[in-house]
Structure 1
């Protein structure tokens, strides 16, 4: 479960980062480029991914 949670979290962070860059119009070539709602959706997805990685990697006592 630890490895699966870490991998899923990293994928969510990367996907969120892509959506942030598209929403900020840094990455073009998509209908999502320049649409600010994708910036906010990307932030939420990246934060969820970071939380998932944190929960998967924390030590259990």
Structure 2
């Protein structure tokens, strides 16, 4: 269950972080009314979110490699 939650949040952060990075750097002008377009700080926030998402995905993958606990 924890693995699934980490994967869902990880994928969401990677997608949102990528969008924020592209919008903030001015490479993506969608949607036109977005306040993030061309704003450098949003590119930085996007990179942080993207990195956090990759860490969550790495943790989810790592948790599946652990042997089950002994009882």
Global fold match (TM > 0.5): yes
Count, aligned residues: 61
What is the CA distance between 1:26 and its match in structure 2?
1.6
Partner residue, 2:39: 35
The superposition leaves residues 3-56 of structure 1 with CA deviations (integer Å, 9 ceiling, x where unpaired) of: 111111000000000000000112221110000000000000000000001001
Unaligned runs of 5+ in 1: none
CA distance in structure 2 between the partners assigned to 1:43 and 1:60 by the alignment: 29
The answer as to 2:7 corresponding to 1:6 is yes
Say which one has the larger Rg. Answer: 2
TM-score normalised over the length of structure 1? 0.93
CA RMSD of aligned residues (A): 0.8
CA distance in structure 1 between the partners assigned to 2:57 and 2:10 by the alignment: 5
